[in-house]
Amino acid sequence: FFSCLDAQKPDPLLSLIEAFASDQRPGKLDLSVGVYRDDHGRTPVMRAVKLAEERLVRDQPSKSYLGPDGDRRFAECLGELVLGRGLSGQARGIQTVGGTGALSIAAGLLGAGGVSRKIWLGTPTWSNHLPLFAAAGLPVRTYSHVDEQGGGFALDAFLAAVQQASPGDAFLLQGCGHNPTGIDPDIATWTKIGRALADRGLIPLIDLAYQGFGAGVEEDARGMRDLLGVVPEAVIAVSCNKTFGLYRDRVGALLCYGNDAAGLDLAMANARGIARCSYSMPPDHGAAVVRTILDDAGLAAIWREELDAMRNRLRATRRALAASPGADALGLGGVAGQGGMFCLLPLDGAQVERLRSRFAIFVAPDGRVNLAALPLERVGAFTEALADVALR
């Protein structure tokens, strides 16, 4: 039967990984895939992670099954990191296979219960969002995430979408460090977003993958926490893969938030059931590492220091880009005030291709640039290359 399956287009971003690996030019620069890289182009294992791994090797008593929830203490510790002590008591969580796994289970939850719900996405958004929800059978609707001036969150477009939505629909919001634009709602706007959703009986689904890559671990969670303060229920998909540098270990959690304990129990039972039919139980190692770090004040302090250093370097890169000659014309004028790893440049396919062929600079096909992989000393060369392809 294989031959009657539909042909699949190659994922343009994943194809770039191969193209970059086989490019022989010295000084080639990969700004496409969303991983942090140091000045030598490496994605090192964080020191706190190595220390936690040493402990696990030494002390782990068993590798027997844990069950579909995965590591329960991991989900508790992560809940506190994400929601803060104040709100974490109103949430329950399970470990998932990365943030993507959490989003998939969230999509399954939204499709369960015999209620037909749509999911609303502000676009542009992470390239996996639309196919993921569509694959789960949820009707997808979109509205513009970015305002007409191109510099801020489009609250008007969001509020118009809220009016068009049917009660019970869900709205996906990225908690901070928006992928691909770097543009987040400002603090005061989060409460307005929450109130608008609550007034119309709509469900917030928050995708949090870049906590700590904007203004700080606590600061980046504040808007989302303000929103949670004014809604009765929410679902939060958390990824630890950027924040702990654990990418291939696939660490994440699904948190369900609300006031009704019986409702939360039902949500968890359903989430568990969805996981059981899919991968049964999540892989342990990465979550055990995160739990070991968050459960130990010393390791947690080392991790925070490392994350702070990554963020400070990223912010210095953003400031240098915004201060470079012709920054506004290149679409870089606003990047210093944005958060997360990415910015989205107004480049067409031919310009992206010229950056690659002439300058060995790889950016995503839609013009998304991973600033967390751009060394400070190469900012000048990058903006010159950009001017060459964009302003000629």
Q: Tell me the closest approach of the beta carbon of residue 224 to ligand PLP, in angstroms.
A: 13
Specify the residue, 268 or 341, whose C-beta has the smaller distance to ligand PLP: 341
Residue 160 sits at the vertex; the CA angle it makes with 193 and 170, to the nearest 5 degrees, is 55
Tell me which of 34, 204, 214, 223 binds ligand PLP, using CB under 6 A: 34
Whether 242 is catalytic is yes
71, 118, 126, 169: which is the annotated catalytic residue? Answer: 126
Written as six digits, the tokens of 90 are 């109103």
DSSP run (H or E) holding 283 = none
Task: Note the Cα 283 to chain centre separation in Å.
Answer: 20
In angstroms, give the least distance from the CB of 255 to ligand PLP.
14
Q: Binding residue for ligand PLP (CB under 6 A) from 90, 95, 174, 292?
A: 174
Residues 213-252 that bind ligand PLP (CB under 6 A): 239, 241, 252
> Taking the CB of residue 381, how many other CB atoms lie within 10 A of it?
15
CB-nearer residue toward ligand PLP: 286 or 379: 286
Among 36, 74, 126, 244, binds ligand PLP (CB under 6 A): 126
Peptide bond into 124 cis (omega under 30): yes
Rounded CA-CA distance 57/35 in Å is 26
DSSP class of residue 293 equals: H
> Among 68, 93, 99, 122, which residue interacts with ligand PLP (rule: CB under 6 A)?
99
Can 120 be counted among the known catalytic residues? no
Task: Tell me how far, at minimum, the Cβ of 31 lies from ligand PLP, in Å.
Answer: 14
Tell me how far apart the alpha carbons of residues 366 and 347 are, in angstroms, rounded to a whole number: 7
Written as one string, the DSSP assignment of 103-125 is HHHHHHHHH-TT----EEEEES-
Q: Tell me which of 30, 226, 242, 303 is the catalytic residue.
A: 242
Q: What angle do CA 200, 99, 139 make, to 5 degrees?
A: 45
Please count the other Cβ atoms lying within 10 Å of the Cβ belonging to residue 18: 10
Residue 184 annotated to the active site: no
Closer to ligand PLP by Cβ: residue 85 or 248: 248
Check 30, 184, 207, 226 and give the catalytic one.
Answer: 207
CA quadruple 81, 86, 87, 88: dihedral sign: positive
Task: Report residue 281 as tokens.
Answer: 């139980």
CA angle 96, 99, 102 (to 5 degrees): 50
Among 88, 95, 179, 370, binds ligand PLP (CB under 6 A): 179
- 180: preceding bond cis by omega (within 30 degrees): yes
- Applying CB under 6 A, which of residues 70, 79, 98, 223 lies at the interface with ligand PLP? 98
Closer to ligand PLP by CB, 95 or 174: give it.
174
Q: Looking only at residues 191 through 210 of this chain, which bind ligand PLP when binding is defined by CB under 6 A?
A: 207, 209
Using the contact rule CB under 6 A, the part of the chain among 15-23, 86-94, 97-105, 311-319 near ligand PLP is 97-105
Number of chain residues interacting with ligand PLP (CB under 6 A): 12
Residues in contact with ligand PLP by CB under 6 A are 34, 98-100, 126, 174, 179, 207, 209, 239, 241, 252
Please list the active-site residues. 126, 207, 242
